[in-house]
Amino acid sequence: MQNEQTPLMQLKDINMHFKKPGLQLGSKNIHVLKDVNLDIYPGEIVAVIGESGCGKTTLGKIITGLFRPTSGEIWFDGKKVSGLFDKKINSYAQIQFIQQDSYAALNPVRTIYQSLYAPIKTMHRKWKKSQIDERIEELMSLIGLQPSEQFLTKYPHQLSGGQRQRILMARAISLDPKLIVADEPVSMIDVSLRLSLLNLMKELNAKLNMSFVYISHDLSTTRYIASSGRVCVMYLGEIVESGNIGDVIQTPRHPYTRALIQAVPIPDPRFKGEGKLPLKSMGVGSLESRTQGCAFEERCLYSCEKCFGSVKYVQTETASVLCNNLEAVPSHPIYKTD
Amino acid sequence: MTENIVTIRNVSIDYPLRKYTLRAVTNLSMDIKRGKITALVGESGSGKTTLSSSLIRCISEPGKVAEGEIVFYDTTDEGEKEIRVNELSEKEIRQFRWAKISMVFQAAQSALNPVMTVRQQLYETMTEHGLTLSKEQMEERCKELLGYVQLDSERVLNSYPHELSGGMKQRVMIAFALLLDPQLVILDEPTTALDVITQSYIFQLLKKINEEKHISMLLMTHDISVVARFADYIGVMYGGRLMEYGTVDEVFEKRRHPYTEGLIGATPSIIGDIGQMKPIEGSPPNLLDMPSGCVFHPRCPYCQEACMQEEPQTYQLQGGATCKCHLRRE
């Protein structure tokens, strides 16, 4: 592991509560994230995986500073910070966000040039126009949209989804951030174009040594982009398993991860899967009825009395797993690879 | 009984616009096998939704079938009847839709009426289609179906759509599609907005329906991995044309058409070597300005002189498979 390095960003015991809307009496806050700890090292790709409603986007917004956590500490570059507006780090320039919906993320009445120009001008007040133009030209060649004049004068609706997503990437890297959070960046892109976008992200990661947090529900694309990185599997606001992505996919240890990986279809008819998933029920539990015990208990095939007490992380050879009854969970690989 | 439940012959579908006519589907022929799950794979704009809605004559305005014939082979207790979908009158098609071919729409959220409970909507569908059932019988039918899709019928029947989760709504839609005992169910991206675990449950359910009730299915998707796991036959669409058709095992093994090959090679998987995956270069064709010759030639790594000039015909191969490529006709 990369323990000698200091982490770029550290999240320590992050908790996030949302107020339930409405004026009902006795309404409880919803506990969306529970004791999340995450270290992100420079130049690393960390993937966050989970079903919708598991809190992965909330985590992304806390990392980018759009939300302030209810409790817990965020350390960035060795300094304790409190959010996006913290003057200590000028975090606009350090952490950037790539959104899922590229159409909604770009201003429809501005040209691409204007959308790229504005953030650079805001951060570098003294730069001349020619300097900024040069920078934009450089960005356009990095993301592979050439000749750039053809794209810069256009409006977002005149570009395809893949091209817009590339523009978002250019905008995100335009201020040389140290960390980029990408929230489902390819889920709305056609299959044949996905891979080239993922390749672009890998390339930017390697060339510019930027750390990426890749948030997704799709394990296949995650494995592709973070091929040697780490993955954190989230379930109802908790990280239930984290480790090297190759190990986690091959021999998942948490019962939830095992079900998740069995559910992923493989583009090869020879692997039809085992049919029934190792789960008790299909519905996701509710965030409102959080108890002290394991959140996955009600769906888990291997639950026992131990699961009602507070749950602790177990360090296995390859991963860190949040489970009290890990001995009972099978540990053979899901797919035999030859 | 005929082997095919629907045959599509030389169908072209046009959308007349103000200045041009957009041809979304061009001269397409395909069979949908009875009792099987046939999948249509294609990216957005490949014409798969247009084609499937033409089976129940639900193409969104101003689209219409310009050429060709769609025949549905109806099997009832009295025997077999050919129904030509395009020749039905307005009144006949209203009865035909849902009773013979029903559809599970892509966005289950917007397919249900937000101001009616699930019970009201199910009842309405039955009465509109002239089923003479008493209230008790209707109630029983609803409960049976919702139980079949593993929903708690007591709760769901009294719910409005916003009270249900995405996976539950999708299962309500499946129950809807089964309501009138159709012979074919069209599934238009039934799990796109859902999580992998929910997706897996929905497909297990659909497979069970297919096996137990012998209902044929036409599955539209852009996700080739789903096809590999659940379908029996596969048709690959590109630019409004059917590029390749065959059994799933054969198509995945032989990968005859360069587009199929590219598509499988561009789909990340959780097993196997990542290094071998590569994207398909270029971008999907503009339907208003189609390339000459083979529509895939600008992106094809094997492109030759003939591909740029002449559009390949659909070559019939052994075992009922087809491939629309100059170079792969064996």
pLDDT tens per residue, range B63-101 = 899 999 999 999 888 888 899 999 999 999 988 999 999
Q: How confident is the model at residue A91 (pLDDT cuts 50, 70, 90)?
A: low
d(CA B23, CA B47): 9
Mean pLDDT score, B206-214: 92
- In B, minimum Cα distance to A246 occurs at B270
Residue A2 has pLDDT above 50, yes or no: no
d(CA A131, CA B221): 46
Looking at residue B69, its amino acid is: E
Calculate the alpha carbon distances from A280 to A283, B121, B253 in Å.
9, 31, 35
Calculate the alpha carbon distances from B267 to A228, A267, B27, B271, B274 in Å.
19, 7, 28, 11, 10
Main-chain phi, psi angles of B243, to 5 degrees: -80, -40
Mean pLDDT score, A189-217: 88
Main-chain phi, psi angles of A139, to 5 degrees: -60, -45
Task: Select the more confidently predicted residue: A287 or A3.
Answer: A287
DSSP A20-57: PSS--TTPPPEEEEEEEEEEE-TT-EEEEE--TTSSHH
Mean pLDDT of chain A: 86
Residue A76 has pLDDT above 90, yes or no: no
- In A, minimum Cα distance to B46 occurs at A190
Tokens 């020879």: give the residue: A270
Residue A23 has pLDDT above 80, yes or no: no
pLDDT of residue B183: 94
Residue B233 has pLDDT above 60, yes or no: yes
Residue A195 has pLDDT above 80, yes or no: yes
pLDDT of residue A55: 87
pLDDT tens per residue, range B123-132 = 999 988 888 8
Mean pLDDT score, B98-106: 89
Mean pLDDT score, A189-207: 87
pLDDT of residue A21: 65
Choosing among B155, B250, B269, which should be mutated to test the A contact, i.e. which has the most A CBs within 10 A? B269
Q: Which of A170, A231, A175, A219 is nearest to A197 (CA)?
A: A170
β-bridge partners, B97: B101
Give domain A9-18+29-94+176-268's CATH number out of 3.90.1150.10, 3.40.250.10, 3.40.50.300, 3.40.50.2000.
Answer: 3.40.50.300
| A220·B268 Cβ contact <8 A | yes
Mean pLDDT score, A23-48: 83
Give the gap in angstroms from C-alpha A293 to the nearest C-alpha of chain B.
23
| B252·A221 Cβ contact <8 A | no
Residue A24 has pLDDT above 70, yes or no: no
pLDDT of residue A140: 92
pLDDT of residue A94: 83
Mean pLDDT score, A228-239: 91
Q: Do B281 and B290 meet the contact criterion of CB atoms below 8 Å apart?
A: no
Residues of chain A with C-beta less than 8 angstroms from the C-beta of B192: none
Give the gap in angstroms from C-alpha B329 to the nearest C-alpha of chain A.
23
d(CA B216, CA B5): 8
pLDDT of residue B76: 84
Spell out where A230-338 has E strands. Answer: 230-235, 238-244, 313-315, 319-322
* Cross-chain CB nearest to A217 (options B195, B264, B279): B195
Per residue in B258-285, is it b (16+ CB within 10 Å) or e — as a string? bbbbbbbbbbbbbbbeeeebebbeebbb
Spell out where chain B has E strands. Answer: 4-16, 21-33, 37-41, 64-76, 79-84, 101-104, 184-188, 216-221, 233-238, 241-247, 315-316, 322-323
Q: Which of A294, A315, A183, A181 is nearest to A241 (CA)?
A: A315
Largest CA distance in chain B: 68
pLDDT of residue A92: 62
SS3 state of residue B136? helix
| B280·A218 Cβ contact <8 A | no
Strands B64-76 and B315-316: unpaired
Residue A1 has pLDDT above 50, yes or no: no
| B201·A259 Cβ contact <8 A | no
Choosing among A190, A201, A288, which should be mutated to test the B contact, i.e. which has the most B CBs within 10 A? A190
d(CA B287, CA B300): 18
Residues of chain A with C-beta less than 8 angstroms from the C-beta of B197: 51, 259-260, 263, 277, 279, 282
pLDDT of residue A4: 62
Residue A85 has pLDDT above 70, yes or no: no
* Cross-chain CB nearest to A219 (options B43, B167, B270): B270
| A199·B279 Cβ contact <8 A | yes
B43 to chain A, any CB pair closer than 8 A? The answer is yes
pLDDT of residue A88: 60
Residues of chain A with C-beta less than 8 angstroms from the C-beta of B264: 267
Domain ranges of chain A: 9-18+29-94+176-268
A123 to chain B, any CB pair closer than 8 A? The answer is no
| A195·B269 Cβ contact <8 A | no
pLDDT tens per residue, range B109-146 = 678 899 999 999 999 999 888 888 889 999 999 999 99
| A224·B252 Cβ contact <8 A | no
Residue A234 has pLDDT above 80, yes or no: yes
d(CA B9, CA B14): 16
* Number of Cβ pairs < 8 A linking chain A and chain B: 127
Mean pLDDT score, A289-299: 82
Residue B309 has pLDDT above 50, yes or no: yes
| A335·B167 Cβ contact <8 A | no
SS3 state of residue A61? helix
Residue A99 has pLDDT above 70, yes or no: yes
Q: How confident is the model at residue A288 (pLDDT cuts 50, 70, 90)?
A: confident
Q: Crossing angle, helix A255-263 and helix B196-212, to 10 degrees?
A: 50
**What tokens appear for A332 in the block?**
């053979």
d(CA A293, CA B62): 57
Give the gap in angstroms from C-alpha B173 to the nearest C-alpha of chain A.
17
d(CA B31, CA B47): 16
Residue A305 has pLDDT above 70, yes or no: yes
When mean pLDDT is compared across A282-291, B158-167, B180-189, B268-277, the lowest value belongs to A282-291
β-bridge partners, B217: B37, B185
d(CA B25, CA B181): 29
Residues within 8 A of A (CB atoms), B 272-301 only: 272, 274, 277-281, 283-284
DSSP B188-233: ESTTTTS-HHHHHHHHHHHHHHHHHS--EEEEEES-HHHHHHH-SE
Mean pLDDT score, A173-199: 87
